[in-house]
Amino acid sequence: MRCGLRWLLSLLVAGLAASSCLASVVMTGTRVIFPGGVSERSVQFTNQDDVPNVVQVWVDSGDPNSTPETAKAPFIVTPPVFRMEPKAGQTARVIFTGKDLPKDRESVFYLNAVQIPALNSAEADRNKMLLLLRNRVKLFYRPSGISGESSAAAEKLRFSLSRQGSEWKITATNDSPFHVSLTDAQIVKAARSVALQPDMVAPMSTFEWRIKSDEDLVAAGWVVRFVFVNDHGGENKVESPLAASR
């Protein structure tokens, strides 16, 4: 009964901690670029803690509530579970299982790593709430046949503004085969600015923001300033014109 209670509490806390967390086990890099010409990629983890930790890793296709049992993605991770000694490192292999994916654009998946603190012998028989820290980063499968540079995709985004009823619609158009992940975005004119919720613009598609404003935003002079994440996890600032139409 006591064992069952500990397990139930662990699951409850795992659900609450399902968003990206700052943990003592860290992964090198903030994203994984998986080239289409290779069968596997290595991911490095480091335990910065003074105690051992157990880590479980899996890949999902976009469900933030996924588990290793429910996740659906054309990748497996080996080893899927491993123990890390204090201040030690561990390499995990992400292996592509060969499922057909688009060859003219990137596909995005998510690499999950859950840190499970180790229990010492004195704590083993106690009802204790375990805090499971979960980190989730993007994994981009990049086919070998696509052209262009990912770093140029953000600079080639096109933005347009139009009126729809009582709202203004700002549309970002991404003609490239690469995803563009934004961490900050706003439209700016002189001292005026309107914040936009940052998101990811998928390849060969559009993304829309809606703004409620009585102001006539069609007047010339507005630009879009945004920050995007490059392949190395760094952030770059870009300013693009905002084309307006009534």
- pLDDT of residue 108 exceeding 90, the answer is yes
pTM (2 d.p.): 0.85
CATH classification number, 2-142, choose in 3.90.550.10, 3.30.499.10, 2.60.40.10, 2.30.40.10: 2.60.40.10
Instruction: Write down the pLDDT at residue 147.
Output: 87
Q: What is the assigned CATH class of domain 150-244?
A: mainly beta
**Averaged pLDDT for residues 68-95:** 96
Q: In this structure, what are the phi and psi dihedrals at residue 237, rounded to the nearest 5 degrees?
A: -95, 140
Which of 14-18, 40-44, 107-111, 183-187 is least confident? 14-18
DSSP secondary structure string for all residues of 105-160: S-EEEEEEEEEEEPPPTTTTTS------EEEEEEEEEE-TT--S-HHHHGGG-EEE
Are domains 2-142 and 150-244 of this chain identical in fold? yes
Q: Domain segments of the chain: what residues?
A: 2-142, 150-244
Instruction: Write down the pLDDT at residue 11.
Output: 42
Q: Dump pLDDT digits (tens) for 203-238.
A: 999 999 999 877 777 767 899 999 999 999 999 999
**Averaged pLDDT for residues 36-57:** 94
Instruction: Write down the pLDDT at residue 221.
Output: 83
- pLDDT of residue 104 exceeding 80, the answer is yes
Instruction: Write down the pLDDT at residue 215.
Output: 76
